[in-house]
Amino acid sequence: MHFSKPDIKPYLFILLLALPTHLTAQGRITVKEYILKYKDISVEKMKEYGIPASITLAQGILESGNGNSRLARKANNHFGIKCHGWRGRKFYQDDDAKNECFRKYRNPEESYRDHSLFLTNRSRYAALFTLDIRDYKGWAHGLKKAGYATNPRYPQLLIRIIEEHQLYLLDRGQDIAFTNNSINGKKPSEVVLPVAKHELHPSTVVKEIGPNERKIYENNGVKFIYARKGDDFEKIADDFNIYTWQVYKYNELEKDDKLLKDQVIYLEKKRNRAEKKYHVVQEGETMYYISQLYAVKLKKLYRKNNMEENMEPLTGQKLRLR
């Protein structure tokens, strides 16, 4: 088996033209960055208005796609609040209906304040303020019951965000601990990758023997190997005569990520769809884990299931794979 390096010269001009777009994509806000940026505001509003900081922050993450939605970027509206008699500046975009009116703010802080006022000044949310400030589950279900959102899974989505990132600590007067590129000391690549050989679907069969006696397998028509102890992107790239960037790009990882022994590493681009139609999410599984499990591109998996990028599925959820 020989993986040849592509001739890069014909693509240099195209790469230069595409550079601004690539930089823009890198500028997307991650969940961690969003939490760091707005957790203090959420706590401040909790003390002022009595709304759990975890709920406010989770709603901001969910409604604004971590601050990356068009509404958040163009109108500083992080909670999807529509005009409803609003006398301030307005922003129009398609939603449930065409060209709907949304509130426009001078800055995100103003959006957070108006979100608090929106809940405190409407009688239909009054029952929520009788709940314990630490009862984020009660608040999540109460918001749906009061008609805040039409999505039937809205409470579960909020609860998942709160528990995954331990936002409930903010309600208790504690802070959220971030370490290096991790949230609460847990690096994503250490918990979401299929590292045990028996986990991969379908059953793995050796297709051929590659350089340095490496066994090459195939999943969904995509060739892959299991990382060895001490492997990194450069070593794997050298073994298979491909570029380092191809290794981490094919596996949708960052170039500073560390590889684990027996971690699945694809040597080719993953597919747009899987052979299997659906996957029922098991406890602890993430979208990235499922993407690697079936050799399906992560972005395609999000699109097939109408999910915002960076959101994670619920246990028992049925995900479309094709």
Residues 119-133: tens digit of each pLDDT: 999 999 999 999 999
- The pLDDT score that the predictor gives to residue 263 is 86
Q: Picking from 135-144, 188-197, 235-244, 291-300, which range would have the lowest pLDDT averaged per residue?
A: 188-197
pTM summary value: 0.54
Between CA 152 and CA 201 the distance in angstroms is: 31
Residues 145-172: tens digit of each pLDDT: 999 988 888 999 999 899 888 899 999 8
Query: 156 near 314, Cβ under 8 Å?
Result: yes
The answer on pLDDT for 12 being more than 50 is: no
**In this structure, how many other beta carbons lie within 10 angstroms of the beta carbon of residue 290?**
23
164's tokens: 């995954």
Model confidence band, residue 196 (pLDDT cutoffs 50, 70, 90): very low
The answer on pLDDT for 8 being more than 50 is: no
Q: Please, which residues bridge with residue 179 across strands?
A: 182
Mean of per-residue pLDDT scores for the chain = 82
Helix, strand, coil percentages (3-state) for the chain, rounded to 5, are 45, 10, 45
The CATH number of 31-183, from 3.40.50.300, 1.20.1740.10, 3.40.47.10, 1.10.530.10, is 1.10.530.10
Q: Which long-range contacts (CB under 8 A, 24 or more apart) does 294-297 make?
A: 294/201, 294/219, 294/220, 294/321, 295/219, 295/220, 295/221, 295/222, 295/224, 295/266, 295/270, 295/271, 296/220, 296/270, 296/271, 296/272, 296/321, 297/252, 297/269, 297/270, 297/271, 297/272
- The pLDDT score that the predictor gives to residue 15 is 34
Q: What letter represents residue 60's amino acid?
A: G
- The pLDDT score that the predictor gives to residue 320 is 94
Model confidence band, residue 14 (pLDDT cutoffs 50, 70, 90): very low
DSSP string, 49-70: H---HHHHHHHHHHHHTTTTSH
Q: Picking from 40-44, 202-206, 241-245, 290-294, which range would have the lowest pLDDT averaged per residue?
A: 202-206
SS3 category, 114: helix
SS3 category, 226: strand
- The pLDDT score that the predictor gives to residue 17 is 35
- The pLDDT score that the predictor gives to residue 257 is 80
What mean pLDDT is predicted for residues 266-290? Answer: 88
The answer on pLDDT for 9 being more than 50 is: no
Query: 54 near 171, Cβ under 8 Å?
Result: yes
Residues 6+ apart with CB under 8 A from 256: 181
Closest CA to 155 of 13, 72, 11, 59: 59
Q: Picking from 73-82, 89-98, 239-248, 261-270, which range would have the lowest pLDDT averaged per residue?
A: 89-98
The answer on pLDDT for 55 being more than 60 is: yes
Residues 6+ apart with CB under 8 A from 102: 71, 75, 77, 80, 81, 82, 83, 90, 91, 92, 93, 95
* Cα angle, residue 269 at apex, residues 267 and 272 outer, rounded to 5°: 145
CATH 3.40.190.10 fits domain 187-322: no
Q: Please, which residues bridge with residue 82 across strands?
A: 102
Q: Between residues 27 and 123, which one has the greater pLDDT?
A: 123
- The pLDDT score that the predictor gives to residue 6 is 47
Q: Picking from 3-7, 127-131, 263-267, which range would have the lowest pLDDT averaged per residue?
A: 3-7
Domain segments of the chain as ranges? 31-183, 187-322
The answer on pLDDT for 140 being more than 90 is: yes
Q: Picking from 147-151, 193-197, 212-216, 231-235, which range would have the lowest pLDDT averaged per residue?
A: 193-197
DSSP string, 138-167: HHHHHHHHTTS---TTHHHHHHHHHHHTTT
Model confidence band, residue 270 (pLDDT cutoffs 50, 70, 90): very high
**In this structure, how many other beta carbons lie within 10 angstroms of the beta carbon of residue 236?**
22
Sign of CA dihedral 155, 149, 65, 195: positive
CA within 13 Å, CB half, 234: 2
Q: Please state, for a pLDDT cut of 70, what percent of the chain lies above it.
A: 81
